[in-house]
């Protein structure tokens, strides 16, 4: 659906995008993550045929950037980070103008459909200048969808929105995903990317890594099970230390942190050994590193290496399940 080969963009002496090569499949929600100035918006502008690349090539829906630009612009939807609207016109009038530009067959029907879907129907006759930022953002999303594009580019879709409006937008993106649309999201909201995206790319002028959030966690940190004990954990590691499937053991306060590859298969053995040795286990959980941990490491660490057994990050989240009798 979207394919790039060594896509590059220079501005004067600065390299904004450096030899980007990636493939995004049909129906995929793809997260493009990176700091300000990393080249994310420049990439979106190239892929939507708004600016020309300096080198390399890209195709969107089989259309080639630089050759089929009109077809690309006709067939994709785009939400820019700062979408502009005609502020003196109503929401209905704004969407009607763009629906006609896109040569939508049923203009009133499409305008009503998306105003209702995004909760703006009751405000359709209000001028856009009276709208809050969240309402403008929802209207801009409606504008991007009027012509039913199969590929949608969203640049910071929930930026500056209150929690309720942000949730509405996230739920709407999930609904679009269910319809089989391909969605390319640039976002700083890493929790949002973690929940919505099938795969994510960490990008800083050049591509650092592309994978699913789950596999990135496993590759960088492995899997770590946390045994919460009723007493200090120091010393209890000897009860399980001879198990070949354990990669690393660390005792921290009353927690025994064990790195291993297949917790589902080996946790029962570890629990049995610890209980037989006299340990009082309160509950067991798996340490889940956030996408923020992964992102910060990949952006800031040139070596892209992670070491299992380092002290637990302060922002890591432990998801636990209480043991039952």
CATH of the domain at 191: 3.40.50.300
Q: What proportion of the chain, given as a percentage, has pLDDT over 90? A: 56
At 8 the pLDDT is: 95
Is 243 in the same domain as 301?
yes
64 has a pLDDT exceeding 90: yes
309 has a pLDDT exceeding 70: no
Q: How far apart are CA 316 and CA 314, in angstroms?
A: 6
At 301 the pLDDT is: 61
At 314 the pLDDT is: 34
Q: Mean pLDDT for the chain? A: 86
Span 223-261, pLDDT tens digits: 889 999 999 989 898 999 999 999 889 899 999 999 888
Which of 193, 211, 229 is where one domain is finished? 211
Is 58 in the same domain as 167?
yes
pTM of the model: 0.76
Is 227 in the same domain as 203?
no
Residue with tokens 């990439």: 43
Is 168 in the same domain as 226?
no
Report the range of poorest mean pLDDT among 166-180, 234-248, 256-270: 166-180
Is 297 in the same domain as 175?
no
Q: Report residue 166's pLDDT band, with 50, 70 and 90 as the boundaries.
A: confident
Which of 211, 243, 273 is where one domain is finished? 211
Q: How far apart are CA 39 and CA 184, in angstroms?
A: 14
Is 156 in the same domain as 220?
no
Q: What kind and span of H or E run contains 65?
A: none
Q: Work out the burial of residue 251: count CB atoms within 10 Å of its CB; fewer than 13 is exposed, 13-18 middle, 19 or more buried.
A: middle
């Amino acid at each position: 659906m979207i394919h790039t080969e060594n896509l590059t963009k220079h501005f004067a002496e600065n390299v904004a995008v450096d030899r980007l090569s990636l493939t995004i499949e049909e129906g995929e929600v793809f997260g493009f993550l990176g700091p300000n100035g990393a080249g994310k918006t420049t990439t979106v502008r190239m892929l939507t045929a708004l600016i020309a690349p300096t080198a390399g090539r890209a195709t969107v829906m089989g259309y080639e950037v630089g050759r089929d630009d009109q077809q690309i612009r006709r067939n994709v939807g785009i939400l820019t980070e700062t979408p502009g609207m005609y502020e003196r016109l109503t929401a209905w009038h704004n969407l009607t103008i763009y629906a006609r530009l896109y040569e939508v067959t049923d203009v009133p029907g499409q305008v009503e459909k998306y105003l209702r879907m995004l909760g703006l129907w009751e405000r359709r006759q209000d001028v856009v200048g009276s709208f809050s930022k969240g309402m403008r953002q929802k209207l801009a999303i409606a504008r991007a969808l009027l012509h039913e594009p199969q590929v949608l580019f969203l640049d910071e879709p929930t930026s500056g929105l209150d929690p309720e409006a942000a949730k509405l937008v996230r739920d709407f993106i999930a609904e679009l995903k269910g319809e089989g649309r391909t969605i390319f999201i640039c976002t700083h909201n890493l929790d949002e990317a973690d929940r919505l995206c099938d795969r994510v790319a960490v990008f800083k002028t050049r591509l650092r890594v592309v994978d699913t959030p789950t596999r990135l966690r496993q590759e960088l940190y492995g899997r770590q099970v946390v045994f919460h004990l009723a007493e200090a954990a120091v010393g209890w590691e000897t009860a399980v230390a001879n198990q070949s499937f354990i990669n690393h053991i660390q005792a921290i306060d009353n927690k025994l942190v064990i790195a291993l590859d297949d917790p589902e298969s080996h946790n029962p053995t570890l629990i049995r050994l610890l209980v037989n040795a006299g340990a009082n286990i309160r509950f067991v959980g798996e340490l889940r590193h956030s996408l923020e941990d992964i992102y910060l490491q990949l952006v800031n660490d040139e070596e892209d290496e992670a070491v299992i057994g380092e002290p637990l990050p302060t922002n890591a989240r432990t998801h636990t399940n209480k043991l039952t009798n």
